[in-house]
Amino acid sequence: MADEQAEEPVTETPAEEPKRKGSGIFRLIKAVAFVSVIVVVQIVGASMLAPSAQDTAKLAKDIAAAASGQSAEAQDEHAKDGKEHGKPEKNLKEVELGTYNITRYNPTTNTTLAIDFELFGTVLAEDAAEFQHHFESSNARIKEQITLTMHSAESADLTDAGLGLIKRQLLEKTNRALGEPMLKEVLFSKFNFVER
């Protein structure tokens, strides 16, 4: 019996299987594939949401028409009449919108900006009397919009030779204050600004 106990079968614990070297590479491949799928889905989604060239052209035409105070259809008809864009219309009348002296302090740069200008606008000659009536009844709102626009203007906008952005903003806000798009263009006279 002693021999039987000595011959007990020795059960070996299964040796640990060596780690596969491929599992790390497989995880990396799965991660790259997952990120690639997400990127492709985002590109497809963005291309579906981006406007087409025709939509962009139509939107630009609508914005240009709104800035000039016309509907897009009226602007298309105006272009079809053979009139050149940029050619001054003969039936426009200049109206005075006021003289302004605006001072703005910027606490972050510790500078003061003084802006002095005379502002004029153009309206259709047949609308001049109606414009004058609207202008007198909305004078405070119009002056407030002009002042707020100039207060929010950046120095880079004020140094622009044509003052294009400021003119567009003033035109849009003035027409909104008037209640009708009567003003066709905004013009500066004696414009200067000093930053101290």
Residue 186 CA, chain-centre distance (Å), reads: 21
166 CB-contact burial (10 Å; exposed 0-12 / middle 13-18 / buried 19+): buried
- How far apart are the C-alpha atoms of 50 and 47, rounded to whole Å? 5
Q: Which of 169, 173, 167, 159 is nearest to 185 (CA)?
A: 167
pLDDT above 50: residue 112: yes
Q: Widest CA span of the chain, in angstroms? A: 130
- How far apart are the C-alpha atoms of 105 and 107, rounded to whole Å? 6
- How far apart are the C-alpha atoms of 155 and 22, rounded to whole Å? 61
Please compute the mean of the pLDDT values over residues 115-142 and round it to a whole number: 89
Confidence of residue 79 (pLDDT cuts 50, 70, 90): low
Confidence of residue 84 (pLDDT cuts 50, 70, 90): very low
- How far apart are the C-alpha atoms of 30 and 84, rounded to whole Å? 61
- How far apart are the C-alpha atoms of 67 and 71, rounded to whole Å? 10
Please compute the mean of the pLDDT values over residues 104-109 and round it to a whole number: 84
pTM above 0.75, yes or no: no
Taking a C-beta distance cutoff of 8 angstroms, is the pair 79, 85 a contact?
A: yes
- pLDDT recorded at residue 82: 45
Domain boundaries of the chain, sorted by first residue: 24-85, 92-195
For domain 92-195, give the fold: Tetrahydropterin Synthase; Chain A (3.30.479)
Share of the chain above pLDDT 70, in %: 77
Confidence of residue 29 (pLDDT cuts 50, 70, 90): very high
Confidence of residue 164 (pLDDT cuts 50, 70, 90): confident
Joined tokens for residue 149: 């626009």
